[in-house]
Structure 1
Amino acid sequence: MGAAAHGREEFPPRLSARDAFPGIRPGYLNSGSVHPVSAGARQRVADYLASRAMGGESDYDIAAARRTVMERFARLINADTGELAYIQSTSAGEQMAVAALGLPEPGARVVTDALHFFGSFHLYSELEKAGVEVVVVRPHDNRIQLEDMAAAIDDRTRLVSVSAIATTNGFQHDLAALADIAHAHGAKLFVDAIHAIGSVPFDVKAAGIDMMSTASYKWLMGDMGLGFMYARADLIPELARPQAGYFQLAGISSHVFPYEEPHERAYQTRARDDATGLFAMGTYSNTGVAHLDYSLDFLLELGVENIQARRQPLIERVREEFTARGFQPLTPEDSTGPLIAFAFENARARLGPKLRDAGVEISLSQHRFRISPSVFNTMDDIEMLLEALA
């Protein structure tokens, strides 16, 4: 077979994806859980940490990096920087989206689905306790049917909350169609985009998304502790501030100390009128910013479309082989995301030892397993997996 048939298409030599991750062990197929850190990102973090030593050996400018990382992320998702804020995590963003809409509110309705991030169901269980009606749409044929979502969304619905790509099985919503349905009833669409941004082309404006959050340690090839919150510019004035924090400030005036102008108030504060003024809190991870200072350039230069095209033959090989072996596929065949999953009874107990012995790492659940290749993987890694579970 030729190179393309083996899924070995290469990026331009100066952007060799395998070389960007020196030392990555063969058989690592679990980037959907935690993405490895590239050599370039490690060096950028080292430059930042050297600057924090205050010894003068590094002139790395973290303030400039904060600004340009936000600009590059905005370009990646077709947003304006004023629509974005740094946050701690995807889940933190989802909680802020809920609060920004004034929830919980007794009698209000929230619609989500059973393929949404499982950690979010605790949030919605708490909303139910506070009097919110929460509807969880169940999947059919491993996907959430658009007509089922449409049937669940009514004029009392305040929020529709979904994952762009389901962490459990890689199902992808038609976000633009879902947004149209939500908006027709006056509801807002929140999207957990952690498995989408960096792995598939993602355009917040084309998708009609109202609010979105993500984190950087998966397909943005960054680290934990740093994420992004998006809110549509024309929606921002309608939203309530979920919490108040230092980084929201546009200005603060003191009237306490010598030489300051006297005033009846000790301090006066003024918030920014953008997403940062709404959602930002206190100090966030500068090492996370330094990671992204390299990784976002890496992603933008490789091109998300190229990443997706190179990955797809690997996923299709897994689908074909494991389906032929009798494993029950959970991922829809038209999925173009970075995940493929199968149902298998007692998967963790029965498959875990075989994979450990072979040096292969995938995501194992009680009765499911998931493979998530990235830019550094080749068909050799897939063959290791197939042999380990032969």
Structure 2
Amino acid sequence: MTRRDVMLAAGTLSAGTLTMVDIVPAGAAAQSAPAQGKSTLPRQLPDKSSFLAGEGVYLDSGSQHPVSIGARAAVDTYLSKRMLDPAAAHYDLPDDGVREKFARLVNADPDDIAYVQSTTAGEQMVLRGLGLPQSGGHIVTDTLHFFGSLPLYEEMQRHGVEVTWVEPKDGRILLDDLKRAIRKDTRLVALSLVSTINGFQHDLKAVCNLAHAHGALVYADIIHAAGCVPVDLKGSGVDFSACASYKWLMGDFGLGFIYGTKAARALLTRTEYGYYGMSAFKPHVYPFDTPSGPPGDMIADYAYADTAEGTFAHGTHAHTVIAQLDHSLDYILGVGVSAIQAHAQDLINRLKRELPKLGYSLMTPPESTTPLVTCAYESAREKLGPKLAAAKIKMTVSANRFRVTPSVFNDHTDIDRLLAAVGHA
């Protein structure tokens, strides 16, 4: 019996259970309501039934994606087990299963995936494993990379690493500019597959081909890609990547994934010594242990797994988020990333047409197919903050720009409200 069979028999799968159905185009006939106690995949998008409705408009999933009703139920099932509820006695945390689902989502080998606290933690693990900044060398990155990583590479520079910053042209990082920046002594190219700033998406395979031709490794931050645009880690040839789960994976803070190919991991110096990465452990210091032998021998025999977990894993990680992702990844895989992307593009393309008519300057390339549109607007927070608050619209508004990131539950009525609220620039 599978874990799902056991849970069904025990009655512990309730609102978190997914019934797989096909997605049909918007406008198709409404389907009958799902059986009570089950959460079905939508037959069309937008999907408002899987998320709690509020009186406002939420257009900020690229900052934090709302938790779905089914994901909340999955967490409740896990917490029932933690509360020693007899009804949940047979619940088993799908630790390996969630890694396998994420691997399917991004086309990776599960053995090349490990859990990590955050995207930033993953990026820094790669740098430490390469001996940076102490070992020096040359790094190429770009200014559309995650803004939280800009100080990271400035610190690399401060400690003796040479860093080349590639700047965008018309909102794009050009492959020719990367080609000029990468040299024979370049050790790492670090970028965001999809930029959190304006939604620009690299041709990751082309970047990797270019970097590898010069002997450089490639790290990609995929937090704004996994779950909302197709990602093919194997096909791209990328060496390392990382993402957290609280954005487009519909998870929560405190847990994400790090990816490293076997060949790339072999180039790292071990800096992580977590017991979750061990494949074998036999102590010699506790009662009835096998003696370790002559004095001076090791107090325990151990080995690390030849996997990403063996390279990167530490100790315990957020079990509630694993329970949540067990549902959320089923939802994303069931609906399909292509359907999610197509739905978002319908809304995003309208914003790309209408916002310039209102006098706003697009930072997002017109051809971008990511669920993100950004406009540069001087004093945006000061000018738009009160308008959006009055209209009960939540989106990212920075000092001099604003960003709209719709998801599966948004529709054109939400876009109508946004356009009416911001008005003319």
TM-score range, shorter chain: over 0.9
Tell me the residue number matched to 2:263: 234
Is contact 1:48-1:60 (8 Å) kept?
no
Matched residue type, 2:322:
V
Comparing 257-266 with 33-42, which one deviates more in the overlay?
257-266
Give the secondary structure class of the aligned counterpart of 1:288. helix
Q: Give the Cα–Cα distance (whole angstroms) in 1 for the partners of residues 203 and 159 of structure 2.
A: 30
Deviations 1:35-86 (A, max 9, x none): 00000000000000111012323136343x1111111111111111110000
CA distance in 2, matches of 1:360, 1:11: 30
Contact 1:9–1:310 at 8 Å: present in 2 too?
A: no
CA shift for structure 1 position 26: 3.9
How many positions carry a matched residue from both structures? 383
- The 5-angstrom pairing of residues 109-258 of structure 1 reads 109-258=138-287
Residue of structure 2 in register with 1:47 after alignment: 77
CA contact (8 A) 1:222 1:288 kept: yes
State the one-letter code of the partner of 1:97.
V
Give the structure 2 partner of residue 376 of structure 1.
409
Structure 1 stretch 14-23 or stretch 69-78: which is displaced more? 14-23
Give the unaligned 5+ runs of structure 1: 1-6
Q: How many Å apart are 1:258 and its aligned residue?
A: 2.2
1:367 aligns with 2:397: no
Would the alpha carbon gap of residues 247 and 10 (structure 1) be closer, same or farther in structure 2, given more than 3 Å must change?
A: farther
CA shift for structure 1 position 9: 5.7
Amino acid of the structure 1 residue aligned with 2:157: E
Note the alpha carbon deviations across 1:113-137, whole angstroms, 9 max, x for none. 0000010112112211221001111
In the alignment, structure 1 residue 346 sits paired with structure 2 residue 379:
yes
How much has 1:156 moved relative to structure 2? 1.1
Deviations 1:82-121 (A, max 9, x none): 1000010000000011112222245400100000001011
- Distance 1:211-1:12 versus aligned 2 partners, 3 A rule: farther
2 CA distance for matches of 1:288 and 1:12? 32
Report the Cα distance in structure 1 between the residues aligned to 2:340 and 2:412, rounded to whole angstroms.
15
Letter in 2 for 1:15: L
Contact 2:56 2:391 in 1 (8 A): no
1:15 to 41, 45, 52: 41
Instruction: Report the equivalent of 2:422.
Output: 389
Q: Where does 1:253-264 land on structure 2 (aligned, <5 Å)?
A: 253-263=282-292, 264=297
SS of 1:168's equivalent in the other structure is: coil
Aligned twin of 1:93: 122
Offset, 1:12? 8.8
3-state secondary structure, aligned to 2:147: coil
Aligned amino acid, residue 313 of structure 1: D
Partner residue of 1:281?
314
Give the SS at the match of 1:136.
Answer: strand
Q: Please tell me whether residue 81 in structure 1 is matched to residue 110 in structure 2.
A: yes
* Equivalent-residue separation in structure 2 for 1:266 and 1:168 (angstroms): 51
Report what 1:312 is aligned to: 345
Residue in 1 aligned with 2:13? none
Amino acid aligned to 1:77? V
> Aligned in 2, Cα 1:291/1:118: closer, same or farther, shift over 3 Å?
same
DSSP 3-state at the match of 1:229 = strand
On the 8 A contact 1:11/1:302 being kept in 2, the answer is no
* Equivalent-residue separation in structure 1 for 2:138 and 2:29 (angstroms): 47
Task: Kindly indicate whether the alpha-carbon contact (under 8 Å) linking 1:363 and 1:370 is maintained by their aligned counterparts in 2.
Answer: yes
CA distance in 1, matches of 2:304, 2:380: 51
Runs (5+) with no aligned partner, structure 2:
1-24, 32-39
Contact 2:381 2:397 in 1 (8 A): yes
TM-score (norm 2): 0.87
Residue 58 of structure 1 is matched in structure 2 by: 88
Change (3 A) 1:201 1:12: farther
Residues in 1 aligned to 2:113 and 2:88: alpha-carbon distance in whole angstroms: 29
Tell me, yes or no, if the aligned pair for 1:8 and 1:379 is still in contact at 8 Å.
Answer: no
Tell me, in whole angstroms, the C-alpha distance in 2 between the residues paired with 1:198 and 1:153: 30
CA distance in structure 2 between the partners assigned to 1:140 and 1:73 by the alignment:
33
Bigger shift: residues 297-306 or 23-32: 23-32
After superposition, the C-alpha distances for 1:326-350 in whole angstroms (9 at most, x for unaligned) are 1000000110001100000000110
Identity %: 46
When residues 12 and 177 of structure 1 are mapped into structure 2, their CA distance, relative to the original with a 3 A threshold, is: farther
- Tell whether the 8 Å contact from 1:26 to 1:381 is kept in structure 2 after alignment: no
Alignment partners' CA distance in 1, 2:72 and 2:223: 22
- The worse-fitting range, judged by mean Cα deviation, of 66-75 and 21-30 is 21-30
SS at 1:194 equivalent: coil
Deviates more, 1:33-42 or 1:257-266: 257-266
Q: Which moved more, 1:42-51 or 1:261-270?
A: 261-270
Deviation of residue 234 (structure 1)? 2.6
When normalised by structure 1's length, the TM-score is: 0.95
Instruction: Identify which range, 97-106 or 165-174, moves more after superposition.
Output: 97-106
